[in-house]
Chain A
């Protein structure tokens, strides 16, 4: 591994891999049989998913009244989950687009799965604006569809409408970007699956690889489109959560009406997204034996991002507190006092501990490079970020302007069931993905392998 250049940087791929080793390592889960752990995990995820689908059907069949909402708190777990999932979806685009533009080669080990995670998280997220509608069967009305009612049109003033466009754009671009990257790898798998021995695999991957030939022109186009899509996706990293935050920021409710929300939400989204990537990658590298590709170095780099974004989030929390005091508006001030000391103080405390305090331990290099601790902390951050959205949504609503309307919110089993269900959907999709898609970009990883003289010197 010794090299004359940049020796202070740790190598991105360990273990003296050859090109063929990489293909073998990454294609192994697809070509082999699933092990016992996979089946156990998949069964649990599937049950959770079915349970969630049942809860969703129950909600649609009976009414939103099956949730714990009331006349004062019109959104709670539904939009909390929505924002949480959208936030998680952020890491994918950031890793694939922004890090691509910044030529951060270490992204290669994680971008594929991070993008997959994005897609699945956005699917889970997009579920909520749909099912939280009282009349979901009229959901298509949020689309500006020509109709026979003349001037009947959507309301472009509404941030919810912006959400519709933002989420759908984000989902489309992420999906296309992800898929484009998959094409050469699908072709690799296609080529590895001999037509005679594995006709089904061969045919399916042949179709999915769009007849990739691997010639220079194809590679050229591939590189170009990746750059173009990265350029398109980069603003989306900022726009999606900015627009989601505007659901709150443009309202008049104290605790929502805050101009700091767009950057605060984006930072929070990256924070939670990276945490979720950590959670998934740490499991995956173990289960699929990819420790030599997703190295401790990657873990540390991601921990640095988590620490940075966690700190930004912390600053945002404190800025909010400062602004509420500085505004001199009694409602604003009370909204924050109530967050910290009101009936939901425990949610606020959970948020502060998980999101602000806990990432600071990553100043310690030892902890940053500790796999077990990182895994534990990534879970903590995810919990904290869920509470952040809960705190913003519920504690702002439950005590707003007129004290006569102040109430408490308690979730029902359906609220919880749907949330668990989306976790089920997410993991079901991810587990299926891990068995059928190359979880690392084969072609791209090969591009960062040092295959020059040093290997032959041995």
Chain B
């Protein structure tokens, strides 16, 4: 019935063709391959049909188009295997060591995702106590300097290490066999392993090898004096924290001096008047130095008078302590010297006399004074001396003579740049040309390296291993924090290689440290544990105290050898700036843009002169509208320097100053052609004596040649506004800790009640303070009196500030020495752009934190009243600084006002208040009306006038505009675009990180956990940051101090930053 239906899949099956049968058996038919097609015979004949042609066309065009579009490659490559110690977004800190021949610091290097981005002090070091200065914390940018040599060079052409090794090795071997003279010229070496490597090298090449140490900033005189007095060729380490009286003859011991940052720590400790006791500081100098600006008594003297002043002090101290006096030197400063003597003798064993003279005779007399005062063994440590200066000028002079005489066969130069910094650089260069084999280990083709045959570039210290012994018994280690960025090799490794030792330097150090280990108190530990602990800590301080050597100096003989400093109408003394130092970091734009603490000038050096003398010589004193300095020609010993002349109140009349470290010609784009090179004037000594002439330079039209000076502060006096920078004297402070800082009481029409939000709150009252007022009493009588404390007069509803965190800061005007370490630290942490000289000159520096420097003026309110001077004349006279002014520093950053005037005026609410007391800036929301900056009473807001990175204008000096320099940027802080406002954020990224960390750990944020970059960098702890609501925090404790006050309290903005009255340790007639 049913008929089987037959279903078929196609006609092939129906017909059951042989092809079908074949295919049915072969289940997996072979694919048609390209080969198959190509093999077919009729391919050539096959015509392309119209449709095919269009398909091919479409495909080709499509493929070509796609190929032409480059897919953006986001070069963020995640770790395949996450390294154990690196978590993206979390910084790692590595202990290391900075040493550049003058500055020494045990440091921590902050790295992010394998990039070093910031340098902070290592508090574990007893020698430096975590102190860093601007040069040290800016040195991280040197790593990302595109002017560094990318690899070894021969005759200015790139080559490879194998060639250099082979050729130099052969040349050295020849010289060694022939007994030729091979000289290794280095800066001071404090690394025991490096010394050993040098010795190994010397051993290999025989007797002819000589190691010459040369310091651009020489301490030769002091070294020779110490050798004569103690048999130790080293500098004493100073303990300023134990010094009640400091007398300095020209020594800028907190800035340009060896180990200055560490000295500042101790000095700062003694400058706090807490407990009614602070140190007393006398300074005798010609230029206004950073130390001099902080001195209680500063006497301006000529360089030629310095030796006499030192001898006069010696005689007086000797008279008081029973020593032998020298020949009767008297000076016109004897009254002050006598006063200093009395105080020194009263503080016997607790004083320091210090001098920057490079004359061994003067330094011997200074040593003798310290010896008479019993300072050795207490404030001056000769038992464990400092090794950070080792160069003796005569050795270098001898080397140059030998070179010129053709006696040197090979010269290997490391860490120094004599073609730039040697006084008689022409002689050095002439000699260099006569040396057969010349090798430089410089990191770039600098002035000296340009004259050598081989450049064997040393790695940056952040890429290197090293060890050091800056002070006897104080060891520290340097470890690499990044792979070498370029084809560079450590100097030590190169030297070892040439000495035939192929071991890497890391192993070499470890081997050497076996000796340190054996002689250390930790000898019981396994070596690896010992070494790794030292590496982790960065320091190993054995704690062994050496024996103080006996003083055996012959003062009388030494005094007779003191070289006379030539006198004249002008005497020149060179000095070292807090930013640029000896010029080795001249290509660091952060340092170039750091305003000089005294002059507030950036990107230049200049001849400093007494304003009085400038007026007499009719030079522009850059007052009011003047912004052009006159250019002068200074002639000294046949050397002519053309430089602008700049007024420096406090400069001794008849003297001029000039900073070294400028006028580089081969440092890179930031350092070249900035300022003039002062080293040719120096001839090994900073006291350079008489200037034969200073003359104004004229242009072709006969007009005085002028020069634009870029200063970040163009008004230098307080204009009688004492409430901005409150001051008192120690005597008054002892009687009343609130001296100089009376409560500011405002008159209100109907006092009483809380004052909060009252209508009468805004009444601009009279300032109710006056020294006669019993301030505390007035506060108690608040209800009866129509006076209210300024902090309670209030137009606005308060923020809820009593709960949670309230971040705040205190700035102690007493301990702030004005060094600028905070400014560069802030820039490094917050990616603050470098804008260059022209923009600074236009008043557009971008620093979030500035250190205002004020000179006192001879005109005061009291004087005007006494002498019946009218108000207008008074203010005009107040604009001029005194000839010998008192100096005060005031760091100013965003005050994070609780009633911030910037917040109310922003039309788009781009700046707002956080519930933790921060004044926050939302860059993304900012439209750039600048109203906030106008309405800021502190003028701390900074506007991005241009696109400072990747913009159309030339801001090539800004690190963010450089492929390499960009690597230094802190990834936690956004780089701001043009047209937006920026300002200090209290390092909110750090606050946030600490809060997250605490939250994850389920605990409160620790007191010390959150630090702003400035507070962290401050060597004297003048800036303290923390939670004002945390009663246990340091900042809360300081905020309660009688000295603390709010800047411009009467404006009623209620800042979260407090300043502490400056207390000067001066007697009435000195003030």
Binding site for B on A (CB under 8 A): 61-65, 68-75, 129, 132-136, 138-139, 141-142, 152-155, 157-161, 164, 247, 250-253, 327-334, 337-338, 340-341, 343, 397, 399-408
Confirm or deny: B1066 has a beta carbon within 8 angstroms of a beta carbon on chain A.
no
Please, could you name 17 A-B residue pairs with CB atoms under 8 Å apart, sorted by A?
A63-B946, A71-B942, A75-B930, A134-B929, A135-B977, A141-B927, A154-B909, A155-B907, A160-B905, A160-B906, A247-B931, A252-B1053, A401-B939, A402-B852, A402-B892, A404-B713, A404-B715
Q: Considering the chains assembled together, what is the distance between the CA atoms of A330 and B627 in angstroms?
A: 27
Q: Which of A61, A134, A340, A343 contacts B624 (CB 8 A)?
A: A343
Is A157 touching B872 in the complex (CB atoms < 8 A)? no
Is B906 touching A155 in the complex (CB atoms < 8 A)? yes
Q: Which of A71, A134, A343, A397 contacts B844 (CB 8 A)?
A: A71
Confirm or deny: B839 has a beta carbon within 8 angstroms of a beta carbon on chain A.
yes
Q: Considering the chains assembled together, what is the distance between the CA atoms of A400 and B944 in angstroms?
A: 22
If A134-B943, A155-B906 touch, whether A400 touches B927 (CB-CB below 8 Å) is: no
What residues of A have a CB within 8 angstroms of the CB of B906 in the complex?
155, 158, 160
Confirm or deny: B257 has a beta carbon within 8 angstroms of a beta carbon on chain A.
no
Is B764 touching A329 in the complex (CB atoms < 8 A)? yes
Closest partner residue, chain A, to B853 (CB atom): A404
Most buried by A among B724, B906, B930: B930
If A70-B842, A403-B854, A408-B625 touch, whether A64 touches B905 (CB-CB below 8 Å) is: no
Closest partner residue, chain B, to A329 (CB atom): B764
What residues of A have a CB within 8 angstroms of the CB of B839 in the complex?
65
Is A132 touching B946 in the complex (CB atoms < 8 A)? no
Given contacts A334-B719, A403-B724, list 6 more A-B pairs with CB under 8 A.
A134-B930, A134-B978, A155-B908, A328-B766, A404-B890, A405-B715
If A134-B944, A134-B978, A343-B625 touch, whether A402 touches B724 (CB-CB below 8 Å) is: yes
Is A71 touching B767 in the complex (CB atoms < 8 A)? no
What residues of A have a CB within 8 angstroms of the CB of B562 in the complex?
none
What residues of A have a CB within 8 angstroms of the CB of B981 in the complex?
134
Measured between C-beta atoms, what is the minimum distance from B720 to chain A in Å?
7
Identify which of residues 764-790 in chain B touch chain A, using a CB-to-CB cut-off of 8 Å.
764, 766-767
Identify which of residues 851-885 in chain B touch chain A, using a CB-to-CB cut-off of 8 Å.
852-854, 871-872, 875-876
Q: Considering the chains assembled together, what is the distance between the CA atoms of A135 and B977 in angstroms?
A: 10
Q: Which of A64, A155, A327 contacts B909 (CB 8 A)?
A: A155
Most buried by B among A132, A135, A340: A135
Is A251 touching B844 in the complex (CB atoms < 8 A)? no
Measured between C-beta atoms, what is the minimum distance from B885 to chain A in Å?
14
Is B892 touching A63 in the complex (CB atoms < 8 A)? no
Confirm or deny: B484 has a beta carbon within 8 angstroms of a beta carbon on chain A.
no
Is A158 touching B939 in the complex (CB atoms < 8 A)? no
Closest partner residue, chain B, to A393 (CB atom): B934
Is A132 touching B929 in the complex (CB atoms < 8 A)? yes
What residues of A have a CB within 8 angstroms of the CB of B65 in the complex?
none
Confirm or deny: B935 has a beta carbon within 8 angstroms of a beta carbon on chain A.
yes
Q: Which of A132, A341, A399 contacts B876 (CB 8 A)?
A: A341
If A63-B978, A404-B854 touch, whether A330 touches B930 (CB-CB below 8 Å) is: no
What residues of A have a CB within 8 angstroms of the CB of B934 in the complex?
74-75, 251, 253, 397
Q: Which of A64, A129, A397, A404 contacts B979 (CB 8 A)?
A: A64
Is B720 touching A142 in the complex (CB atoms < 8 A)? no
Is B1051 touching A404 in the complex (CB atoms < 8 A)? no
What residues of B have a CB within 8 angstroms of the CB of A75 in the complex?
930-931, 934
Binding site for A on B (CB under 8 A): 624-625, 627, 713-721, 724, 764, 766-767, 839, 842-845, 850, 852-854, 871-872, 875-876, 890, 892, 901, 904-909, 925-931, 933-935, 937-939, 941-947, 951-953, 977-981, 1048, 1050-1051, 1053
If A62-B953, A251-B935, A337-B871 touch, whether A71 touches B943 (CB-CB below 8 Å) is: yes
Q: Considering the chains assembled together, what is the distance between the CA atoms of A327 and B763 in angstroms?
A: 10
Is A72 touching B937 in the complex (CB atoms < 8 A)? no
Q: Considering the chains assembled together, what is the distance between the CA atoms of A171 and B422 in angstroms?
A: 71
Closest partner residue, chain B, to A252 (CB atom): B901
If A328-B767, A403-B717 touch, whether A142 touches B908 (CB-CB below 8 Å) is: yes
Q: Considering the chains assembled together, what is the distance between the CA atoms of A5 and B43 in angstroms?
A: 114
Is A74 touching B875 in the complex (CB atoms < 8 A)? no
Is B937 touching A152 in the complex (CB atoms < 8 A)? no
If A158-B905, A341-B872 touch, whether A65 touches B945 (CB-CB below 8 Å) is: yes
Most buried by B among A157, A161, A340, A401: A401
Measured between C-beta atoms, what is the minimum distance from A171 to chain B in Å?
18
What residues of A have a CB within 8 angstroms of the CB of B930 in the complex?
64, 69, 74-75, 132, 134
Measured between C-beta atoms, what is the minimum distance from A72 to chain B in Å?
5
The 5 closest A-B pairs by CB, nearest first: A134-B928, A134-B979, A65-B945, A70-B843, A74-B930
Most buried by A among B721, B929, B980: B929
Is B909 touching A153 in the complex (CB atoms < 8 A)? yes
Is B718 touching A403 in the complex (CB atoms < 8 A)? yes
What residues of B have a CB within 8 angstroms of the CB of A407 in the complex?
714-715, 843
Is B892 touching A404 in the complex (CB atoms < 8 A)? yes
If A74-B943, A135-B980, A142-B927 touch, whether A401 touches B1048 (CB-CB below 8 Å) is: yes
What residues of B have a CB within 8 angstroms of the CB of A136 in the complex?
927
Closest partner residue, chain A, to B843 (CB atom): A70
Q: Which of A74, A158, A253, A340 contacts B937 (CB 8 A)?
A: A253
Measured between C-beta atoms, what is the minimum distance from A403 to chain B in Å?
5
Closest partner residue, chain B, to A251 (CB atom): B935
What residues of B have a CB within 8 angstroms of the CB of A399 in the complex?
715
Is B714 touching A138 in the complex (CB atoms < 8 A)? no
What residues of B have a CB within 8 angstroms of the CB of A69 in the complex?
930, 943, 945
Is B939 touching A402 in the complex (CB atoms < 8 A)? yes
Measured between C-beta atoms, what is the minimum distance from B226 to chain A in Å?
42
Q: Which of B716, B720, B842, B1050 contacts A68 (CB 8 A)?
A: B842
Measured between C-beta atoms, what is the minimum distance from A344 to chain B in Å?
9
What residues of A have a CB within 8 angstroms of the CB of B944 in the complex?
63, 134
Q: Considering the chains assembled together, what is the distance between the CA atoms of A198 and B1053 in angstroms?
A: 68
Measured between C-beta atoms, what is the minimum distance from A415 to chain B in Å?
13
What residues of B have a CB within 8 angstroms of the CB of A134 in the complex?
926-930, 943-944, 978-981
Q: Considering the chains assembled together, what is the distance between the CA atoms of A65 and B892 in angstroms?
A: 24
What residues of B have a CB within 8 angstroms of the CB of A253 in the complex?
934-935, 937
Q: Considering the chains assembled together, what is the distance between the CA atoms of A254 and B156 in angstroms?
A: 61
Most buried by A among B717, B843, B931: B843
What residues of B have a CB within 8 angstroms of the CB of A251 in the complex?
901, 905, 934-935
Q: Considering the chains assembled together, what is the distance between the CA atoms of A224 and B1051 in angstroms?
A: 51
Measured between C-beta atoms, what is the minimum distance from B1062 to chain A in Å?
15
Measured between C-beta atoms, what is the minimum distance from B306 to chain A in Å?
32
Measured between C-beta atoms, what is the minimum distance from B895 to chain A in Å?
11
Is A133 touching B927 in the complex (CB atoms < 8 A)? yes
What residues of A have a CB within 8 angstroms of the CB of B871 in the complex?
333, 337
Q: Considering the chains assembled together, what is the distance between the CA atoms of A402 and B876 in angstroms?
A: 16
Q: Which of A64, A129, A330, A341 contacts B943 (CB 8 A)?
A: A64
What residues of B have a CB within 8 angstroms of the CB of A70 in the complex?
842-844
Closest partner residue, chain B, to A396 (CB atom): B934
Closest partner residue, chain A, to B627 (CB atom): A408
Q: Which of A61, A64, A157, A337 contacts B875 (CB 8 A)?
A: A337
Q: Considering the chains assembled together, what is the distance between the CA atoms of A63 and B842 in angstroms?
A: 15
Most buried by B among A64, A252, A332, A338: A252
What residues of A have a CB within 8 angstroms of the CB of B854 in the complex?
403-404
Is A142 touching B907 in the complex (CB atoms < 8 A)? yes
Measured between C-beta atoms, what is the minimum distance from B384 to chain A in Å?
42
Is A71 touching B939 in the complex (CB atoms < 8 A)? yes
Q: Considering the chains assembled together, what is the distance between the CA atoms of A158 and B902 in angstroms?
A: 10
Measured between C-beta atoms, what is the minimum distance from B651 to chain A in Å?
21
Q: Which of B624, B719, B931, B980 contacts A74 (CB 8 A)?
A: B931
Measured between C-beta atoms, what is the minimum distance from A62 to chain B in Å?
6
Q: Considering the chains assembled together, what is the distance between the CA atoms of A338 and B717 in angstroms?
A: 15
Is A160 touching B907 in the complex (CB atoms < 8 A)? yes
Is A404 touching B931 in the complex (CB atoms < 8 A)? no
Q: Considering the chains assembled together, what is the distance between the CA atoms of A155 and B905 in angstroms?
A: 8
What residues of A have a CB within 8 angstroms of the CB of B942 in the complex?
71
Measured between C-beta atoms, what is the minimum distance from B878 to chain A in Å?
9
